[in-house]
Every structure is written in C-alpha cells, then in structure tokens.
Chains A and B, each alone.
Chain A
C-alpha cells in the first residue's frame, strides 16, 4: 500500500494551527469552571485527615445550621459501589464505615457561595478510630491490617511465552530498579457542574471519558443511563488523570437531584493530588540471557506495584508492566510476573504511558549495562534484536508497520551518538533508548460488540455542515484530527465544518480519550463517514460540479438533508489466554531518543543540553500537533526523570500537594530539541496515522539515565535522578563501592505458577 503517494493534501500532513488554538491562546475557551448558571450552588468535599480508620460518627448538625448551606451528603446517601473497570467495583463517592487514605472524601457540602461551603466544612465533626496504616508493599505483605476485607494483594499475574527456556547462554545479567510514583499535574483542576431538569441529569465535567462516566453515574445514582447526559467543555489537560469517575462528579449530580439547583464542584490543586490515579511506584527485577554475539535468548521480568487504596485501572496496569517489552525486541522466551498491592494512599491509575514507562526504564537501562559488559555498542546491541514490520511478538501482539530502524538511524546519526558515546570529556555524556506504544486498545473496557467509535456528518439547506463525534479533546488535538480528515476527504475548508464533540446526548458513542486510541479510531470513523457522505452527495447531485461545495449545494437543492455515519472497530486480538486483552492494538508507534547531559560533580546537578528524538508516527495528520505532543511528552519525561515524586510521610500524608513544591520542568528547563517524524504509513491508521500522545515519553527517561552513566560513571537505578542521589553514587564510586543508587531487593512475593501460553499457530500469525 502506498500511503505516501504523490497526491498532495491540503490538511493531512500540514502544519495548520489547531482549530481551537486561537480561542485558547486568547483566553476565550470556556472550561468547566467557567460555566455559570442561575441559582448555582457551590460544592466542597470534606476529606479524611487519617490514612486508615473506622468512621465512628459524623456530626453535620452545625454545618447544616449554617446560613446558606443547602445540602450535605455523607456515605450513606451514596451507598452503591462503582469503579472504572468491571472487575474493580470498589469505590464509593463518600467513605462508608472506613477511610482508606488521607484526602478520601467523607462528606459533601453545597452552599450558596464558595465561602459558605468552606465555612461549613469546618463545622463538620468526624470521629475516627485509627487503624495502623498500610503504607508500602512491605507493609502490605506483613501487616495484620487489611486495606480491604479481601486482603492487601489486589492482583498477581504470571505468564510465560515462547519456546521452552533457552539453553546455551553465554552471558546473563539481572538488575533491580525502582520507579517513583508521580501524578499528572494537568493545569486545569477537575471541575464538574450538574443540572437536574425534568427528571434528567446533565453533568458538565472535565472528563476524558464522558460515555463511561454516563454509565457510572447511572449506576451510582440509581437512575437509568438514558436519564444522564454528560458534556465536556474545553479541558486543560488530562494525561489519564480524568479517566476515572470521581466523587465530586457524583456528589454534584446527587445534590442537583436533591435541591433541583445547578451545583458546581471545582477542586483545589491539593484535592487533585488526592484524586491522583497517577503512575504506580514500581519495584522491578529483570534478568536476560544472551549469546556472546549479542543475541537475546531469554527475558524474565518481575514488577511489584504499590497501588494505593482502590482498584482504579490497576488490574490493567499489572498487565502493562509486561506487555510492551516484546514489541521493540524479539524475545525467544519471555516470562513475566507482576503484582499490585493495596496501600493506604491515594489510588494509582493510568498516566501517560499507562504502566509501561516503569518497565521501559528498567529494560532500556538494563540493556545499556548488558551492552557494556558484552563490549558492544548500545545501538548495535538493539539492532541485533530489533522488531521488524509485520511480525507477531512472543506475547502474541501483531505488529504491522515498524519504523524503529529508521528512528534509530536518524537519532544516532544526527546526535553523533556513536562518535560521542564513551568519548566525551568528563561530566558530559550521551544516552540512548527506544520505546513503543499502542494506538488504541483493541479490547474495550466494558466488553461489547459495538464499534469503538462512530462519526456522523449531516448537512441541511440552512443548517450547514456538521460533524458529530463523541471523542474528547483534552488538549491533545482530536478535534483538529477529526476536522482535518473530514475536510480533506470532502475537499473543503476546515472552517466550513461545525464540530459537535463529546456530548452523550448528541454525539454517537466513543470510548474516550485513553490508550492513544483517538487519532486512529475516530480518525478512521471520520474518514469512513466522510467518504460515505461524499459519495451520497455525488449520487444525489447526479454530477460533479467544479467544487465539492457546489456539488453539495446542488445535492441539497434536491434533498434537504444529507446524512452519513462511519464507524471503527479494531481487528480481533490474536491471544486467547487470560490477560491477552491488555496489549493488542491495531498498530504500534515507535520511538528512539538520544539524550545529551552535563553533570556537575560538585552539586550533583544534571543539565540536559539536547534531546534528539525520532518517532514513527505512521503518518502525521498534522505535523505541528504531532511535534507539540512529542515536545510535551519529552517535557513530562524530564519531570519524571528529575523531579516528580508523589510521596507520603509516615502517616500517609502527601508530602507536597502543591504545584510549587511538586516540581515539573518550566520552559527554562527545556533542552534543545531536535525532532524527526518517521512516516511508515500503517495500513490500520487513517491515511496511515499512528499515535503520538503517550509513546514519546517512554524512551526519554532511560536515555537520560544512560547519559548520566556515560557522563560520570554512576547508575541511578531509580527515579527521580536527584542531585542528592548523584552525589551519593559518586561518593560510593570514590570509595570503590558499587557506583549505584537503587533498590537492592525485590519484595518477597510468591507469584502464582506461570501460565504457559502456547505459541500462536502459523495460520493465525500470518498477517
């Protein structure tokens, strides 16, 4: 298939500015907190000040008596458990019986002003009976206390793939790594406004998943799904932090139902840290076996995740710890074990890269160490074991296009990696790493046979041309993707289109903005809808005029309403084993990164001077937006590499729930970036497009760790790479001890017997 045909496009592959860019730059875009309604009430949540305890008594009488207070809810008002995954229905909007982390909502107040709601919170008295908190995996394994009645182990998996265990290895190596937990830090704090009108609920929310939220609201509020409408206004970033349903959304809805008045909850920054659902802290162990010449024979990977107090997406995260290592490298035999534990801390969940940045960090640093010991160049070692297009991985994922080779050659050449590695002056170094990510999960969260997304296009004589799509633009640019695809196919100006997005009443369903699925899936649905629309218009008009615009006008003279609908459903997964639902995707993106750093051996400070990055995007629907996503991914990776720590004290109290103290890089901390797009044209993607929302974060963190080693000869095997850790490692080096900072033991976890997955038959595997 030739996706890079000579045919020139107007929008596809252009650098046209996003359609919402101007409004956002000018401050005209309306976010959820900007919405105002007559007689609106302001809601606030009272949150637990104890990490683990039984609620003995909640006295709301004083708060209720305060002038201006209109409603107060406690756990008994919302007793139905829910959760984002069907297998983890363990959450309540307001704690009932027990609190499980500091910051867990215990009561909700709505009042006629925000000030009054604050005052009312102070008047609520909660009596707790403290229970010893479970604050680490170690605690979870040995404590007599259980976060949940079922015990502290949430999920453990053990899978084995490929030919029987290798023999004849010349060399093997094992390593331990730790990845610190961190959170999304989207600039917009979560906000929701609920309205109850004529027996129907409308919830405006800064959510990444309006259709899933509708389902969960209906469940928690015990009303039919048809009585719920969820609409999403402009969203100031999500990164996975706005995927789960949240207490403030359910409480806003409930209070609107009780009072009949509009209710707004906007969280403070501190509350967003308690909502969390961010990156799991992970201890990881990896062992690989090799031939002397650098051929990989065997990989064994273990991960232990500190999950926080509730399930969230945790089960999926457990599988993602092992799912994507085989997508970049050919591994003949692969074993992976992973477990998640409950602890008395805010729940972890999905953050950009969902469960794969931790293992990617471990794997790519491990490979750097292996390369050194085998006396090979780190690039060459990877090339020897590299994934190739049209392959099936050892864990039964179907890889279609794969531009890894081109990505590697590009960054290696431009950065001068081969020339510089091991040869720069002391204090300076270069590091290399790869990554890969899926372009949409092939399996929906709630199993069903429906399309994953549908796009509708309508035109009427007086109503213009409208595109309806349920996908949610959280800043990643999917409005622009959908509009570009439709405008391109129809051959009209993008400004002719009216977009109606992310509204469960008016737009056809879309699963949501997660798993990097939207460009591929909504893009394909938009393409399908536009192509159908175009042929209908031609058929009705009878003949082609000088432009599509004219053809459309002529068709509309014959028929006053023209409508089409297109949809997308991913191909079936190959694997048939338990857990095979995590990992399959219609296509995979690939990236390669070279980081160049300077270390100050006196302060331990590391400065990244340059990142050279290549990303196999399949095809850029919009180059400017793709580059923007890559820059953003790199910025977030720098934050995780150097600063970010979602950490708690011995009570389970978040140490720094403030945007000033929880640090992410600023513009001044950004290095020089050189970014290349590799366009492989994937058969599964619209115009060949793949994802870019999550993948680019992955290789940056290990590339930096490897560059630090190249610069000063110390291994920082845990994130973040703080100046203190670097000084500590340098001290160890000076004392001829292992020049390393990182974990020295994997938790004592007894994993289940591995489930051996039989290789897929040749028939199934042929693509």
Chain B
C-alpha cells in the first residue's frame, strides 16, 4: 500500500473543506472496502483519504413527513436488517446481497452508490494490463471489451443503485461551495471512466426515499455463487398496484451499462395492466431490448442479455405470488 495521509473529519463541512483543499489528490473514505483494494492495486493513487465515518449526521436515519433520509455512512449490514425500511423490501434484499457479511459490516451506503465501474480488463494489475495493452480508461486508446466503442463501457456494479433508482431516490450532495439535491437516476451517466454526475469536491451526504409510492418491490441479482460476488446483472422492480391493476412501475437494470438502465418499454407495457402470465411475458420480452451488454464482466454478454428477461419474469412472478 502506497504511503498516504489520513484525516478523520468531524463534520460534513470540515470534510468538504478538506476535500476541496486536497483537489484531485484526495478522496472520501467510507468503509474503504472498494477504495482500499483499488489503491493496493495502484489503480488509484490518492495522497490523502478523508474518513467520514465519525460524522454523526451521516450514520443516522431521519424521518420527515413521508420521506426517509438515510445517511451515506450507514452500514449495509444495518440497512439489510433495519425495521424502519420494511416497506422497501427490495432495498433491504439488495443490501443483504452485497459482497460478504464481513464487507457489509464495513461498507457504507454512500460508498456503494459511488463505487467506480468495474471491468474484467481494467480491474487488474499493471503488469497484466501491460501484457494485454492498456485500455481507454488508462493510458490506452481502445476499449478492450468493445474495440469499436468511443467510451468506456465498464458497468456500474452497485447492487443498491438500481434498487434506489427504481424507488425514485434522491441524493443530497455537499461541497465546500454549497449543496444540491439530485435524482439518483440522473446521478449516473454513460461513461464508464467517469460515470458519476458529480464533481470531485462533492460528498454524497444522504439518500432520500419517499414512502407509500410503491406497494411492491423486488431485487434479483445474477451471479455465479451466493456470496462474495458482484452482480453480473441486477434487476430491480418497483410497482404500485391498486386492486391488482398496476398504476406505477419502475424497472431498472444494473451491471449492464455504466449507469442503471431504466427499462421504459417494459414499464409502459405493465402500467394499466394486471400481472397476468401474458403481460409478464411481454414485459420480460421487451426488457432484453433495453440493453446491450459487452464482454466486460463475468458470464457472456449473450447470456447476461438473455437473463434480463428471465430475471424480470421471475421478479414479477414473485410479486404476483407475494400479493396473492
């Protein structure tokens, strides 16, 4: 591990100031479960880390009116078990599916939403990437997974992002110069090299979710084994049903593009209908058309693409079963 300076901020304002002072040499440290391994691999070489773990505000859940404000420092193991979140079933599920129990005890909500995209051609040692030839993301000229692509297509691989986008979450971003709110859906963009709509000086302070909007939510994660795994595909579904009729639907696909992909066509198919076998099949069929994965993650792109529809179908069946 390269040498670095470590700061423990006492307040959000202090952290924001430190971050601004550090420029691009400084980074926020949440649980460090993603950042520290990257620094060990020398994919990042920050000279200073600003730990936000001591900021009380960031590890609290506040309720105001119909909104729940989740501090960015909340640990995933806590979120997976919190009774305050029982109406956001998919969110709890997703938090419980991240990595391993030990990592979940350390990993934070903010860190999870901000982890860099992942790619089998990039998350490797220098010597490995030199053997291959460097890629778009670092030193090189071409994307190794999709040589024709002008941008890095490394997928956003957070389990929580697709669920929170589906639940319509908002994030609060704080910097030395002020703060702003943004819809999480708009927090990501289609560039794997730099996929967050956020400046280096901004800290994700909390996430707000509105209660009572959706009646059902499910998250399904595709991976080869049951633990210690990033998703190869994540399918998040949130529905609002009144007397069986769907009046709102949100379907979001994770780990398939640099940003969480909203499966609009499938949403439109569902809205106004009931969860019949035919409707489910139709929505599932449409979902695969929403994304074109490339060979940058575990499992082949064609398999991952095929599984979009399969998982969506399973998710909708699950909702139907639970509701009946």
Q: Could you tell me which A residues sit within 8 Å of B by CB distance?
A: 47, 49-50, 102, 115, 122, 268, 270, 602-603, 642-643, 649, 651, 653-658, 660-661, 663, 665-669, 723-724, 727
CB of B120 within 8 A of CB of A657, answer no
In chain B, positions 121-136 with a C-beta closer than 8 Å to chain A are 123-128, 130-132
Complex Cα distance A668/B314, Å? Answer: 22
Q: Which B103-127 residues sit within 8 Å CB-CB of chain A?
A: 120, 123-127
Report the bound CA distance from A727 to B127 in whole Å: 36
Assembled-state Cα–Cα distance A49/B222 (Å):
33
| A602 CB contacts on chain B under 8 angstroms | 310, 313-314
Extra contacts besides A653-B132, A654-B128 (4): CB < 8 Å: A643-B224, A660-B228, A667-B227, A668-B226
Which residue of A649, A651, A668 is within 8 Å of B225 (Cβ)? A668
Output the least CB separation between B16 and chain A (Å): 31
A115 to B4, CA, bound (A): 13
The A-contacting residues of B in range 175-211, CB under 8 angstroms, are none
Interface residues of B in 269-324 (CB under 8 A from A): 298-300, 303, 306-307, 310-311, 313-314
Specify which chain A residues have a CB less than 8 angstroms from the CB of B132 in the assembled complex. Answer: 649, 651, 653
Residue contact A658 to B225, C-beta cutoff 8 Å: no
Interface residues of B in 206-239 (CB under 8 A from A): 222, 224-228, 230
A660 to B225, CA, bound (A): 11
Chain A residues near B227 (CB-CB < 8 A): 666-669
A724-B226 contact given A270-B125, A653-B132, CB 8 Å threshold: no
Q: Are B128 and A270 in contact (CB under 8 A)?
A: yes
Could you tell me the distance between the alpha carbons of A655 and B120 in the complex, rounded to whole angstroms? 8
* Given A115-B2, A658-B124; A666-B131 close (CB under 8 Å): no
Majority SS of interface residues in chain A? Answer: loop
The answer to whether B225 and A643 touch across the interface, beta carbons within 8 angstroms, is yes
Q: Are B225 and A665 neighbours in the complex by a CB distance under 8 Å?
A: yes
B299 surroundings in chain A (CB, below 8 A): 723-724
Q: Are A49 and B228 in contact (CB under 8 A)?
A: no
Say whether B243 faces chain A, with CB atoms less than 8 Å apart.
Answer: no
Q: Could you tell me the distance between the alpha carbons of A373 and B131 in the complex, rounded to whole angstroms?
A: 50
Q: How far is the CB of B294 from the nearest CB of chain A, in Å?
A: 15
> Which residues of the other chain, A, contact B313 by a CB distance below 8 angstroms?
602
Query: With A115-B3, A656-B120, A661-B120 in contact, is A666–B128 under 8 Å at CB?
Result: no
Q: Are B130 and A49 in contact (CB under 8 A)?
A: yes
Q: Are B125 and A268 in contact (CB under 8 A)?
A: yes
Chain A hits for B310, CB < 8 A: 602-603
Which chain B residues lie closer than 8 Å to A115 at the CB level? 2-3
Q: When the two chains form their complex, are residues B303 and A727 in contact, meaning their CB atoms are under 8 A apart?
A: yes
Kindly provide the distance from the CB of A741 to the nearest chain B CB, expressed in whole angstroms. 14
Q: Are A723 and B128 in contact (CB-based, < 8 A)? A: no
B151 to A: closest C-beta gap in Å: 23
User: Chain B contacts of A653 at CB under 8 A?
Assistant: 128, 131-132
Pick 15 A–B contacts, CB within 8 A, sort by A: A47-B127, A50-B131, A122-B126, A268-B125, A270-B125, A643-B225, A653-B128, A657-B128, A660-B228, A661-B298, A666-B225, A666-B226, A669-B226, A723-B299, A727-B303
State which residues 21-46 of B face A: CB under 8 Å: none
Q: Which residues on the B side are within 8 Å of A122 (C-beta)?
A: 126
Q: A655 to B131, alpha carbons, bound, how many Å?
A: 11
Interface residues of B (CB under 8 A from A): 2-3, 100, 120, 123-128, 130-132, 222, 224-228, 230, 298-300, 303, 306-307, 310-311, 313-314
Bound complex: CA A656 to CA B119 (Å): 11
Q: How far is the CB of A185 from chain B (nearest CB, A)?
A: 13
Q: Contact: B125 with A603, CB < 8 Å? A: no
User: Do residues A49 and B226 form an inter-chain contact, with CB atoms below 8 A?
Assistant: no
Give bound CA distance, A236 to B140, whole Å. 38
Distance to closest chain B CB from A45 (angstroms)? 10
Query: In the assembled complex, which residues on chain B have CB atoms less than 8 Å from the CB atom of A657?
Result: 124, 128
Q: A115-B3, A603-B307, A723-B303 known; A651 and B131 CB under 8 Å?
A: yes
The 7 A-B pairs with the shortest beta carbon distances in the complex, nearest first, are A668-B226, A49-B131, A668-B227, A666-B227, A724-B303, A602-B310, A669-B225
Nearest Cβ distance between residue A537 and chain B, in whole angstroms? 50
Considering the chains assembled together, what is the distance between the CA atoms of A656 and B295 in angstroms? Answer: 13
How far apart are the CA atoms of A122 and B124 in the complex, in Å? 16
Chain A residues with Cβ below 8 Å from B123 are: 658
CA distance A517 to B138 in the complex (A): 50
B153 CB to closest chain A CB (Å) equals 18
Rounded to whole angstroms, the CA-CA distance of A657 and B123 in the bound complex is 10
Distance in Å: Cβ of A27 to nearest Cβ of chain B: 14
Q: How long is the Cα–Cα vector from A669 to B100 in the complex, in angstroms?
A: 13
CA A602 to CA B314, docked complex, whole Å: 10
B175 to chain A, nearest CB (A): 33
Chain B nearest CB from A111 CB (Å) reads: 15
Q: Name which residue of chain B comes closest to A642, CB basis.
A: B224
Tell me the smallest distance from the CB of A244 to a CB of chain B, in Å. 22
CA of A666 to CA of B229 in the docked complex: distance in angstroms?
10
Docked CA distance A122–B125 (Å): 12
Q: How far is the CB of B223 from chain A (nearest CB, A)?
A: 9
> What's the minimum C-beta distance from B226 to chain A, rounded to whole angstroms?
4
Expressed in whole angstroms, the Cα–Cα distance for A660 and B231 within the complex equals 12
Q: Which residues of A contact B306 (CB under 8 A)?
A: 727
- Which chain B residue has the least Cβ–Cβ distance from A46? B127
- State A115–B300 Cα separation when bound (angstroms): 37
How far, in whole Å, are A268 and B128 apart by their CA atoms in the complex?
Answer: 12
Contact of A663 among B120, B225, B303 (CB under 8 A): B225
Interface centre among B2, B125, B131 (most CB of A within 10 A): B131
Contact of B300 among A655, A661, A724 (CB under 8 A): A724
Contacts of B126 in A (CB 8 A): 122
Task: Name the residue on A nearest B225 (C-beta).
Answer: A669
Instruction: Give the complex CA separation of A727 and B310 in angstroms.
Output: 12
Smallest Cβ-Cβ distance to B297: which chain A residue: A661
Q: Which residues of the other chain, B, contact A656 by a CB distance below 8 angstroms?
A: 120
Q: Which residue of B lies closest to A122 (CB)?
A: B126
Chain A residue at minimal CB-CB distance from B300: A724
The answer for the CA separation of A225 and B304 in the assembled complex, in Å, is 56
Specify which chain A residues have a CB less than 8 angstroms from the CB of B128 in the assembled complex. 270, 653-654, 657
Report the minimum CB–CB distance from B129 to chain A (whole Å).
10
On chain A, the residues within 8 Å of B120 by CB distance are 655-656, 661
Smallest Cβ distance from A133 to chain B, in angstroms?
12
Cα separation A660 to B38 with both chains bound (whole Å): 13
Inter-chain contacts of B124 with A (CB < 8 A)? 270, 657-658
Output the least CB separation between A634 and chain B (Å). Answer: 15
Whole-angstrom CA separation of A654 from B131 in the bound complex: 10
Cβ of B224: which chain A residues have Cβ within 8 Å of it? 642-643, 663
Using CB atoms, name the residue of chain B closest to A602: B310
Residues of B within 8 A of A667 (CB): 227
What is the CB-to-nearest-CB distance from A617 to chain B, in angstroms, rounded to a whole number?
30
In the complex the two chains form, what is the Cα distance from A666 to B99 in whole Å?
Answer: 11
